[in-house]
């Protein structure tokens, strides 16, 4: 009996294994004439030690590595997987460089002469070498991977940045490691101490980018908090953490609702103020109490209702008046002095100016 039970369990496990593997697999085996072969290892061009702490902060898990071929052409694809879409976006902004350019895939992507990064849900798709594959085949590949991707929206703080920042300099951080990495990449190392005061332990989010306009340049840092109270609290800590030399150089910090905007070392105070005023962030107070929308009826309908109501009122008045007067007249005709105007029940006040008694019948 035990042997039969073991065989049944083993059979179910073997049947379920391909299904589980298919559910976990995101890279397609074939697409647009390309055939893939899983690779045991991906050769990182960047020093892995530079990203170990950031991988831990973003929750990187085991990825997928495949080599694809189509005729004589060959490409390598790396699908890096992270904790959630925000973590993947955090790592994506750490990977891109100013020499990279947005691709034509209509997605969050960056490309240079040899490689392409595409943000897809909780993963980052890396393709090398890009000249070996056409744009149409890339679109087919990205669509195949996106079919299994998490559709959670990316952090809204990225939309707060004003337009005009240098491509490849935008950096998103949900933790101190990503923040310090961004500060170092943007060459503002003197502000690395802000990582401990930014409030990442209370779910703060930071967005940085470098701006250049002619001779003017600056780095804009935005930090978004869950509540305005937390923003005000950390505003005081950050003001104390910024050195006097940095403040004299034009570094300033302001709060708008739950968002802090810090212009790091601008070339001029005027340019820093212009950059801050361009931040795409507006506050709005909403009233959540249920309400009803009352609309005025058409004018002709209102006038018609007034005429109809007046006519009905006049008809009712005539009918009731005729009924009241008619009943009284008929009663006096058929029953004179029996119901109305009975002399014995009618009293007339007399002044006593004469001795003659007034007869009530004289009034009718």
- Angle, alpha carbons 74-91-81 (nearest 5°): 60
Q: Which residues pair with 123 in a beta bridge?
A: 81, 120
Which of 241, 252, 259, 193 is closest to 219 using CA atoms? 252
Q: Hey, what are 316's tokens?
A: 């009712």
* CA distances from residue 178 to 63, 104, 251, 341, 355 in whole angstroms, order as listed: 20, 27, 21, 107, 122
What confidence score (pLDDT) does residue 19 get?
Answer: 36
Rounded to whole angstroms, the Cα distance separating 99 from 192 reads 24
Q: Which residues pair with 110 in a beta bridge?
A: 117
User: Between 168 and 355, whose confidence is greater?
Assistant: 168
- 1 band by pLDDT with thresholds 50, 70 and 90: very low
Bond from prior residue into 8 cis (ω within 30 degrees of 0): no
Question: SS3 helix, strand, coil % of the chain, rounded to 5?
Answer: 45, 20, 35
Which residue's structure tokens are 């009731």? Answer: 320
| Per-residue pLDDT tens over the stretch 93-120 | 999 998 888 888 877 999 988 889 999 9
Whether 203 and 197 have beta carbons less than 8 Å apart is answered as no
Q: How many helices (H) and strands (E) does the chain have?
A: 9, 12
| Per-residue pLDDT tens over the stretch 243-261 | 999 999 899 999 999 999 9
| Per-residue pLDDT tens over the stretch 174-183 | 999 999 999 9
User: Between 350 and 223, whose confidence is greater?
Assistant: 223
Rounded to whole angstroms, the Cα distance separating 194 from 204 reads 13
Query: Which is it for strands 123-128 and 205-213: parallel, antiparallel or unpaired?
Result: unpaired
Rounded to whole angstroms, the Cα distance separating 70 from 54 reads 35
3-state class (DSSP) for residue 34? strand
Whether 218 and 272 have beta carbons less than 8 Å apart is answered as yes
Cα torsion through 238, 239, 243, 249, rounded to 10: 110
What confidence score (pLDDT) does residue 10 get?
Answer: 38
What confidence score (pLDDT) does residue 17 get?
Answer: 37
Q: Where are the alpha helices (DSSP H) in the chain?
A: 2-24, 52-58, 85-95, 135-146, 176-185, 228-241, 244-248, 269-277, 299-334
Whether 195 and 187 have beta carbons less than 8 Å apart is answered as no
- 354 band by pLDDT with thresholds 50, 70 and 90: low
| Per-residue pLDDT tens over the stretch 199-244 | 999 999 999 999 999 999 999 999 999 999 999 999 999 999 999 9
Whether 54 and 81 have beta carbons less than 8 Å apart is answered as no
Range of 78-82, 281-285, 328-332, 338-342 with top mean pLDDT: 78-82
What confidence score (pLDDT) does residue 51 get?
Answer: 84
């Amino acid at each position: 009996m035990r042997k039969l039970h073991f065989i049944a369990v083993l059979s179910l496990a073997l049947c379920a294994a391909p299904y589980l593997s298919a559910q976990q697999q995101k890279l397609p085996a074939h697409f647009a004439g390309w055939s893939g072969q899983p690779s045991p290892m991906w050769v990182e061009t960047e020093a892995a030690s530079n990203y170990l702490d950031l991988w831990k902060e973003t929750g990187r898990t085991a990825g997928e590595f495949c080599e694809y071929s189509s005729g004589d052409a060959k490409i390598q694809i790396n699908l890096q997987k992270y904790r959630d879409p925000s973590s993947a976006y955090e790592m994506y902004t750490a990977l891109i460089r100013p020499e990279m350019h947005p691709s034509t895939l209509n997605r969050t992507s960056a490309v240079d002469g040899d490689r392409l990064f595409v943000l897809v849900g909780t993963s980052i798709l890396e393709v090398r070498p890009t000249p070996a594959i056409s744009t149409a085949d890339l679109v087919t590949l990205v669509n195949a991977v996106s079919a299994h991707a998490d559709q959670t929206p990316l952090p809204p703080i990225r939309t707060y940045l004003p337009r005009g920042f240098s491509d490849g300099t935008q950096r998103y951080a949900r933790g101190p490691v990503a923040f310090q990495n961004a500060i170092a990449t943007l060459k503002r190392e003197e502000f690395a101490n802000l990582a401990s005061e930014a409030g990442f332990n209370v779910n703060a989010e930071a967005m940085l980018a470098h701006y250049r306009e002619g001779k003017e340049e600056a780095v804009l840092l935005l930090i978004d908090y869950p509540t305005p109270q937390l923003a005000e609290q950390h505003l005081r800590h950050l003001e104390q953490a910024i050195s006097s030399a940095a403040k004299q150089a034009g570094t300033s910090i302001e709060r708008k609702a739950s968002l802090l905007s810090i212009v790091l070392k601008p070339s001029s105070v005027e340019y820093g103020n212009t950059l801050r005023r361009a931040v795409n962030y507006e506050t709005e107070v909403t009233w959540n109490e249920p309400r009803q929308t009352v609309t005025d009826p058409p004018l002709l309908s209102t006038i018609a209702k007034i005429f109809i109501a007046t006519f009905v009122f006049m008809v009712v008045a005539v009918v009731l008046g005729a009924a009241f007067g008619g009943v009284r007249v008929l009663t006096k005709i058929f029953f004179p002095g029996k119901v109305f105007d009975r002399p014995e029940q009618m009293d007339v006040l007399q002044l006593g100016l004469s001795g003659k008694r007034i007869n009530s019948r004289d009034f009718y």
